[in-house]
Amino acid sequence: MNKKELILGFALGLLTTGAGLLLVALLFSFLSPNFHWQSLWNRDLLGKYIALGSLLNLLPFFILLSRKKEAMGYGIIIAVAVLTLSTLFF
């Protein structure tokens, strides 16, 4: 397994989740961005938003699998696992 592709897939998973998190926040927020993140943190909803943002990882995962980039797909799976564990604390 190529470590470079694995790390690249992990970074892609984190970036895709960040983009999904921002997309979900923009779609469901009627507040200013700074107040919105503080509100999510105070109401213990940040983990749920991270989980919704992780759904966007399905798109690059299946694209990578169709192009025979299994190592990068495995990196995305690791990123989702790390983010899943992080939702236990947020």
d(CA 31, CA 35): 7
pTM of the model: 0.84
Q: What is the pLDDT along the chain (90 residues), one digit of tens a residue?
A: 789 999 999 999 999 999 998 888 888 777 776 677 777 777 777 888 888 889 999 999 999 999 999 999 999 999 999 998 988 876
- By C-alpha distance, which of 77, 73, 50 is closest to 62? 73
Q: Measured over all CA atoms, what is the biggest interatomic distance in the chain, rounded to whole angstroms?
A: 45
Pseudo-torsion of CA 12, 13, 14, 20, nearest 10°?
A: 110
**Do 6 and 72 form a contact (C-beta atoms < 8 A)?**
yes
Which tokens go with 50? 């991270």
